[in-house]
Chain A
Amino acid sequence: MSDVFDREPDDPVRVLDVSGELVGDRPDLSDDELLALYRHMRLARHFDERAVNLQRQGRMGTYPPLAGQEAAQVASAMALEPRDWIAPSYREHAAVHVHGLSLSDILLYWMGHGAGGWRADVNVLPAAVPIATQVPHTTGLALASKLRGDDAVACAYFGDGATSEGDFHEGLNVAGVFDVPAVFVCNNNGWAISVPRERQTASPTLAGKAAAYGIDGVQVDGMDPLATYAVMRAAVEKAREPGDRPRPTLIEAVQYRFGAHTTADDPTVYRDEAEVEAWRERDPIPRLERFLRETGRLDDDRIDAVEASVREQVSEAIERAENTARPAPDAMFADVYADIPPELGEQRAHLHRLRDRYGDDAFLRD
């Protein structure tokens, strides 16, 4: 564990090289766990492709794709226990799925449906759309766990752009002062919409920012699933049992997102296609696939079986989400407060009367 943290912030942890060769210490994962890691990454990739298509077909609203970031999300979330917490950004579909949200829960949210994006029995906060706001929430979750004497760890996910917001700095600072059981995972994909990482901060690394808050900062190859798992696992264990190190950790997972920022964005305006191609070499999926093949854990038949099962799972999730009844307008008023205040009750009744009088078509714009 100590060599994970006792290193320079610009010395990223690597376990698999781009061709899938082992170049570091293989983390302690069983064959089943390694295959689960692979299966979840394939699932995330296929889910993402279908989600982008749904948006293009007008069956879903704006969607933020993740392809390229599967290792960072899946491997890190696999290092958490169900009692741990995730405070995600809007792009962590794979991480929150691994932690327990169903794919249809996730789709529903992007289909504009308030019943999606969360689940009562899963420790995942709703996606934070305003950038970096989930960072101090994570500190709060972790502080609460510590005050209660529980051993739950709280994990925030956010992008490189988020490290410029005040909330990032305030959240990490408070986490350091109270030495809370938190892991802050920065998915550094090199871009915040059109702004490249070099124009986001003059710091040589994002991991290095941890020093300002007296906590550990570590850089990892975020497209290397085994390295990501190893680093996350070490950070989570340290959060639970700090020993003589600070509990909180800032992980900078260096990676690349192949697609657009969201389906509303056109990266060709600011990003060079050659850059995308160069990063495809580091695609985490073939990389793990090669390792698993070489070590005899995977063959063509098993890959075909994975392919078939992820297709089926995603199709079923889409069907379930699309067959979920559209919310009734009352849903808009239902959970604003625990008890609906009189004025809001009157507004709800007013909308009822208008719908009775004019019919729903008078409200719907397309």
Chain B
Amino acid sequence: MSTDTDTQNLTLVQAVRDGLRTEMQRDDDVIVLGEDVAKNGGVFRATEGLYEEFGDDRVIDTPLAESGIVGTSIGMAAYGLRPVPEIQFMGFIYPAFDQIVSHAARLRTRTRGRFTCPMVVRAPYGGGIRAPEHHSESKEAFFVHEPGLKVVIPSTPADTKGLLASAIRDPDPVVFLEPKLIYRAFREDVPTGDHTVPLGEAAVRREGSDVSVYTWGAMTRPTMEAAGTLAEDGVDCEVIDLRTLSPLDRETIVDSFEKTGRAAVVHEAPRTGGLGGEITAILQEEALLYQEAPIERITGFDTPVPLYALEDYYLPSPTRIEDGIREVVDF
């Protein structure tokens, strides 16, 4: 991890902007494009000020066409630029899905490395902001399932900046999902200037000896809250924020389980086919003999994210997380 000594106190969305800005200053090939990213500064203001600073060749308002935005970015990347296309909400990424999985992910393979796709597709993801339909999806598993892509979800402002910088510098395509529920929920000191956090490394947010709890993105906070409550009852949780979902940091995942022998996975994505199943499988394959209790998945339900009158019941709450972890430790 490279860091500067100076810091700024930023929200997560400000850290996105700071990360983009720093990388754009570093490398003229970095280009931001998407719907409403330039003049409007993004519907969440994630790109605010970039258009004024870098001009309309580097911060481009595109027509309303996700396949066009990502497909164009693939061509730009193959040519040698480093496009950072924004998809306004993850629920609107599907028109671009074909381009991402059929082309971005396999350009390197298909050309034996002659052409590559150093592109970062950014999208706010997840529920909890009382948004209309299709504005709350958490479908990271679609992309984790695609070889050739990296998938990153930060949960803190400093990580956001650092992981985004690494994603932009990465030679391969990265899907970078931003937990919009916590875009403005809190601030943190973020190094100014150059700051990277390596892809593929999980962070241990809380050390503990009784149970390993794996999570990422917006669910990290309610998970930490549950861990705090459980600590008062003498249950010592180790909370692991995966940060990069592809490639997964199997070593940190397994090491923690070997220490605690118990595990829970918390994600807001639907349960079936979600990443909780993959993490459980890794633990079965690599640390079966350490296992002392069934592994619990605390997840969204296998339903579309409901309209906001019922959204709170859909998302794992601190109480639900706490309950699930107790199942594991009381087994």
Q: Which residues of A contact B (CB under 8 A)?
A: 61-62, 90, 109-114, 127, 129-132, 161-162, 164-167, 192-195, 199-201, 264-265, 269-270, 326-327, 329, 331-333, 336, 343-344, 347-348, 351, 354, 357-358, 362-365
Contact = CB atoms under 8 A, between A and B. Distances in A.
A347 B301 contact: yes
A165 B65 contact: yes
Contact of B309 (A113, A129, A165, A193): A113
Interface stretch (B11-19, B39-47, B260-268): B39-47
A195 B271 CA distance: 38
B322 to A, nearest CB: 9
Contacts of B133: 127, 129
A333 B271 CA distance: 14
B63 A347 contact: no
B1 interface: no
Contacts of B307: 109, 112-114
B312 A364 contact: yes
Interface string B69-97: 00000000000000000000001101100
A195 B303 contact: no
| Interface-central residue, B66, B94, B130, B302, by most chain A CB under 10 Å | B302
A364 B314 CA distance: 10
A164 B309 contact: no
Contacts of A110: 132
B64 A62 contact: no
Interface in B263-314: 271-272, 301-304, 306-314
30 contacts: A62-B132, A113-B309, A129-B134, A131-B92, A161-B64, A164-B68, A165-B64, A165-B65, A165-B95, A166-B65, A166-B68, A193-B35, A199-B63, A200-B63, A264-B43, A269-B40, A326-B309, A327-B310, A329-B313, A332-B301, A332-B313, A336-B304, A343-B272, A344-B301, A347-B301, A362-B317, A363-B317, A364-B312, A365-B128, A365-B312
Contacts of A195: 35-36, 61-64
Nearest to B317: A363
Given A327-B310, A331-B306, A363-B320, 14 more contacts: A129-B133, A130-B91, A130-B95, A192-B64, A194-B38, A195-B64, A199-B61, A269-B40, A270-B39, A336-B302, A336-B304, A343-B302, A354-B320, A364-B312
A130 B134 contact: yes
Interface string B171-193: 00000000000000000000000
Nearest to A361: B319
Interface residues of B, number: 45
A362 B319 contact: yes
A52 to B, nearest CB: 15
B313 to A, nearest CB: 4
Nearest to A362: B319
Nearest to B65: A164
A132 to B, nearest CB: 8
A130 B65 contact: no
B80 to A, nearest CB: 26
Contact of A332 (B68, B91, B303, B323): B303
Contacts of B166: none
A264 B319 CA distance: 30
B31 to A, nearest CB: 17
A112 B308 contact: yes
Interface string B129-145: 01111110000000000
B128 A351 contact: no
B43 A193 contact: yes
A111 B308 CA distance: 8
A114 B314 CA distance: 14
A165 B38 CA distance: 20
A351 B301 contact: yes
A332 B65 contact: no
Contacts of A332: 301, 303, 306, 310, 313-314
A162 B95 CA distance: 13
The 6 closest A-B pairs by CB, nearest first: A112-B308, A194-B40, A164-B63, A362-B319, A161-B64, A112-B309
Interface string B51-70: 00000000001111111100
B130 A112 contact: yes
Contacts of A327: 309-310
B70 to A, nearest CB: 12
Nearest to A109: B307
A165 B301 CA distance: 31
B302 A265 contact: no
Contact of B64 (A200, A265, A326, A343): A200
Contacts of A201: 63
A363 B64 contact: no
Nearest to B271: A347
Contacts of B302: 336, 343-344, 347
Contacts of B320: 354, 362-363
A91 B301 CA distance: 29
Contacts of B132: 61-62, 90, 110, 129
A270 B52 CA distance: 13
Contacts of A270: 39-40
A153 to B, nearest CB: 27
| Interface-central residue, A109, A162, A265, A269, by most chain B CB under 10 Å | A269
Contacts of B313: 329, 332, 351, 363
A83 to B, nearest CB: 27
Contacts of A365: 128, 312, 317
B64 A194 contact: no
Contacts of B312: 363-365
Contacts of B308: 61, 112
Nearest to B304: A336
